[in-house]
């Protein structure tokens, strides 16, 4: 199935993505007009709030793109193997809880050790959150779409319980944890801005995934299983279950990392509703990138800009920020629609049957 959402060549993926963005912005403007808003005012507020100045771009847009980058990579990697991990949201919360727990419990450790322990714990927690749907798929044959979505709700409420109960701040007033110590905070990437090392970490993981996908035997197996699992098993002698398991758990680990990075790099405490639906936005991020790790870097920044701009749009033009979710949905639909049209054109050019 993933063959139908991942264009074969990078140039095609880029063209498709650009087309989808144009289509989306056009439709979005039309919807705003129908809703009685001024699309021009919305657009200018959006541009000002996202790329209006260098500082806006770095401290707002790029900062907002970090969780989208990490969870987008998680989703893209899973989708490439045909694993429909819709559960990045829950995995992210699991990672955030584990990370903050390590930071609060072992606050006396030296900085490098503490940071490494936090990030490792968040990967482990994200992977264990993905383990339930993984086992249900591999052992019981239950599709992962519904199970990962259900795990999202469990993860969100688990985190909410943590900040109301076991991990609530000492004062016990607000539903949040105490602030983590200096040593548990990620260093700043660009001095004088809010952008933290988490962004660089995302770039490194993107590069690593790109290398794995295109240059290693395992990456080839992932692509083969994603394109045609039965053929991969029979003709390619690939252990599809092993590939699915590793990809699913790695995807969960990266999504978990997104949660801890957000806490360690930006908020310094865990709150209820830490994530603004990032795990779902990640799907749009991954699809718009054609499931390519390199592309995810660009689309994550694009969605980071949209999220940053939406805040300005609500403040300056009085347009509800919830419109951004509509834009995200439109992006996904535009990608799907254009991809289907491309597929049927290719099919009619080659004179063969439809895909």
In angstroms, the CA 18 to CA 295 distance is 12
Rank residues 116 and 347 by Cβ distance to other proteins and give the closer one.
Answer: 347
Longest Cα–Cα distance of the chain, Å, equals 71
DSSP 130-162: HHHHHHHHHHH---HHHHHHHHHHHHHHHHHHH
Interior CA angle at 296 toward 147 and 152, to 5°?
20
One residue of 23, 25, 136, 200 binding other proteins per CB under 8 A: 136
| Contact flag: residue 4 with other proteins (CB under 8 A) | yes
| Contact flag: residue 86 with other proteins (CB under 8 A) | yes
In angstroms, the CA 197 to CA 207 distance is 15
Provide, rounded to whole angstroms, the least separation between the CB of residue 83 and other proteins: 11
Provide, rounded to whole angstroms, the least separation between the CB of residue 41 and other proteins: 15
One residue of 24, 56, 147, 176 binding other proteins per CB under 8 A: 147
Provide, rounded to whole angstroms, the least separation between the CB of residue 217 and other proteins: 28
Site string for other proteins, 94-133 (x = CB under 8 A): --------------------------------------x-
| Contact flag: residue 35 with other proteins (CB under 8 A) | yes
104 — phi, psi (to 5°)? -80, -35
* Inter-CA distances, 263 with 105, 148, 196, 268, 302, Å: 15, 23, 11, 5, 22
Question: 3-state SS string over 31-65?
Answer: HHHHCCCCHHHHHHHHHHHHHCCHHHHHHHHHHHH
Provide, rounded to whole angstroms, the least separation between the CB of residue 161 and other proteins: 4
| Contact flag: residue 161 with other proteins (CB under 8 A) | yes
Site string for other proteins, 276-305 (x = CB under 8 A): -x--x--xx--x------------------
- What letter would DSSP give residue 28? H
C-alpha dihedral, 160 to 196 to 308 to 336, nearest 10°: -80
Long-range contacts of 29-38 (CB under 8 A, 24+ apart): 31/323, 31/326, 32/319, 32/323, 37/317, 37/319, 38/317
Interior CA angle at 192 toward 265 and 204, to 5°?
45
Decide: 263 and 98 in contact? Cβ < 8 Å: no
Provide, rounded to whole angstroms, the least separation between the CB of residue 159 and other proteins: 9
| Contact flag: residue 353 with other proteins (CB under 8 A) | yes
Rank residues 159 and 238 by Cβ distance to other proteins and give the closer one.
Answer: 159
| Contact flag: residue 320 with other proteins (CB under 8 A) | yes
| Contact flag: residue 209 with other proteins (CB under 8 A) | no
One residue of 151, 222, 238, 269 binding other proteins per CB under 8 A: 151
**What would the two tokens of residue 320 be?**
């509800």
| Contact flag: residue 77 with other proteins (CB under 8 A) | no
Rank residues 153 and 211 by Cβ distance to other proteins and give the closer one.
Answer: 153
Residues of this chain that bind other proteins (CB under 8 A): 1, 4-5, 35-36, 84, 86, 132, 136, 140, 142, 145-147, 149-151, 153-154, 157-158, 160-161, 164-165, 277, 280, 283-284, 287, 319-320, 322-326, 328-330, 332-333, 336-337, 339-341, 348, 353-354
């Amino acid at each position: 199935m993933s063959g139908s959402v991942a264009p074969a060549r990078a140039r095609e993926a880029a063209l498709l993505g650009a087309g989808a963005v144009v289509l989306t912005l056009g439709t979005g403007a039309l919807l705003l007009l129908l809703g009685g808003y001024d699309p021009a005012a919305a657009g200018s507020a959006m541009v000002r709030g996202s790329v209006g100045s260098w500082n806006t771009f770095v401290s707002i847009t790029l900062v907002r793109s970090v969780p989208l980058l990490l969870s987008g990579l998680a989703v893209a990697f899973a989708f490439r193997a045909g694993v429909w991990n819709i559960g990045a949201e829950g995995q992210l919360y699991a990672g955030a809880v584990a990370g903050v727990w390590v930071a609060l419990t072992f606050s006396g450790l030296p900085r490098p050790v503490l940071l490494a322990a936090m990030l490792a714990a968040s990967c482990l927690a994200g992977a264990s959150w993905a383990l339930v749907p993984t086992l249900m798929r591999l052992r019981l044959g239950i599709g992962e779409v519904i199970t990962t979505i259900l795990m999202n709700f469990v993860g969100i409420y688990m985190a909410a319980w943590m900040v109301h109960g076991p991990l609530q701040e000492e004062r016990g007033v607000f539903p949040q944890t105490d602030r983590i110590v200096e040593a548990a905070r990620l260093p700043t990437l660009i001095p004088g801005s809010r952008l933290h090392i988490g962004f660089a970490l995302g770039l490194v993981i993107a590069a690593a995934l790109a290398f794995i996908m295109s240059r290693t035997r395992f990456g080839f197996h992932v692509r083969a299983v994603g394109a045609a699992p039965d053929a991969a098993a029979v003709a390619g002698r690939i252990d599809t279950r092993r590939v699915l398991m590793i990809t699913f758990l790695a995807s969960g680990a990266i999504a978990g990392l997104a949660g801890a990075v957000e806490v360690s790099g930006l908020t310094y405490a865990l709150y209820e509703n830490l994530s603004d639906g990032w795990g779902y936005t990640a799907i749009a991020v991954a699809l718009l990138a054609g499931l390519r790790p390199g592309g995810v870097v660009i689309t994550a920044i694009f969605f980071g800009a949209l999220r940053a701009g939406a805040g300005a749009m609500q403040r300056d033009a009085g347009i509800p920020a919830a419109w951004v979710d509509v834009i995200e949905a439109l992006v996904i639909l535009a990608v799907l629609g254009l991809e289907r049209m491309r597929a049927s054109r290719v099919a009619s050019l080659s004179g063969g049957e439809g895909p």
